[in-house]
Amino acid sequence: MTAFLVRRGLFGLLVLWIVSVAVFLLFFVTPHDPARTIAGRLATPQTVALVNHRLGLDRPLIDQYGSFAWRLLHGDLGYSYYNSEPVRALLFSRLPVTASLALGAAVLWLVVGIGVGVVAARRPRSLADRGGTLFVLTGLSMPTFLLGLLLIYFLFFKLHLAGIDLFPASGYVALTQDPAGWAQHLILPWITLAMVIAATYSRLTRSSLLEVLGEDYIRTARSKGLSERRVVYRHGLRSALTPVFTQFGIDIGTLLGGVIVTEQVFGLPGLGQLALQSVTNQDLPVIIGTVLLASFFIVVANVLVDLGYAMLDPRVRPS
């Protein structure tokens, strides 16, 4: 297990290094004047010259990348001249919002998606299975922004007209400040994000569980007289969750990098909203920081997925 962790960790570091090289070439080598791009459209010539000197853009290319990589190793993601604030501080101030949205929605979509998939797999071609198929088609066809606007209209606007202020339409309250207000402001974004993604998990769970329930060891378990519930949940579902766990790792890593549409619809000041504002304002350091942070989350999520295989499926062992 230790050797496996070391190998996966080294591979993850290799991926992050490749991403850093690609980001450096894309943002520092390709532009005609990267200092002007980083400083912003309204920067004075003195500010451009200062950025050029601080980033070492007047030095050879290898030295430039060495300085860039050295700053990354020390957690220095640059300075946003548009916001007059270090990029790391900007990202860390927005990260709790995106993490709250992604992790809360993840719990909801796992419960709903796996639950619907298991019910459909246990009774194939039944009314429950057809209902699950309808749920999957609806979820896969429904755009996130449309579902969010529908929830705001029916659960905020209509209830507000009736004098019931149960679900806020926008804003964010920190968990440490008011746990109840935190959950109240996030319940509609959670539902919006979870209902769309849960459809994928329902489909994965159903197809994987149907395949597992046809395996020889499942028939052996049934022939021993085990109850159907124990056969499905203890022996079948554990192995069937392997592709679900893979998808979960990818989704969490991606969502922690920013959920742009949902954050925009509900006015959540998270990483997705920050990334969109940075692209609009051409705030290059923040864009670079967001790309690197999202890459880090995806690499970590994939390492955790590989470790989780051995826990979910006894046939899989790290070697």
pLDDT of residue 317: 57
> The CATH number of the domain where 204 resides is what?
1.10.3720.10
Asked if residue 312 belongs to a domain, the reply is no
**Does residue 281 form part of some domain?**
no
Tokens of 30: 């390709």
Q: Do residue 52 and residue 179 come from a single domain?
A: no
213 in the same domain as 267: yes
Domain holding 195, by residue range, is 98-271
What is the model's pLDDT at position 31? Answer: 59
pLDDT below 50 — which residues of the chain?
A: none
Q: Are residues 123 and 267 in the same domain?
A: yes
Average pLDDT, the chain: 84
Could you tell me if 257 and 140 lie in one domain?
A: yes
Let me know whether 125 and 8 are in one domain.
Answer: no
| In a domain? residue 308 | no
Rounded CA separation 63/69 (Å) = 10
Regarding whether 162 and 237 lie in a shared domain, the answer is yes
**Directed axis angle between helix 2-24 and helix 284-312, to 10°?**
160
Question: Are 244 and 163 in the same domain?
Answer: yes
Q: Given this model, what pLDDT does residue 169 score?
A: 79
Helix segments in the chain, DSSP class H:
2-24, 34-39, 45-54, 61-73, 87-122, 127-141, 144-151, 158-161, 179-212, 216-223, 228-230, 237-240, 242-256, 260-265, 271-281, 284-312
Same domain assignment for residues 127 and 220 = yes
Quick check: is 89 in a domain?
no
Q: 22 and 113, same structural domain? A: no
Q: Does residue 290 belong to any structural domain of this protein?
A: no
Q: What CA–CA distances, in Å, run from 144 to 91, 260, 306? A: 24, 10, 29
Tokens in use for 62? 């290898």
Q: How far is CA 64 from CA 70, 192, 198, 281, in A?
A: 10, 44, 45, 25
pLDDT at res. 253: 82
* 294 found inside a domain: no
Q: Are residues 182 and 231 in the same domain?
A: yes
Residues 57, 102 within the same domain: no
pLDDT of residue 315: 57
232: Cα separation from own chain's centroid? 30
Residues paired with 86 in a beta bridge: 79
pTM as predicted: 0.83
Q: What is the tally of structural domains in the chain?
A: 2
In a domain, 151, yes or no: yes
What SS3 state is found at 316? coil
Give the separation between CA 65 and CA 57, rounded to whole angstroms. 9
pLDDT for 99 equals 92
Separation of alpha carbons 262 and 192, rounded Å: 8
119 and 263 inside one domain:
yes
Considering the domain boundaries, does residue 88 fall inside one? no
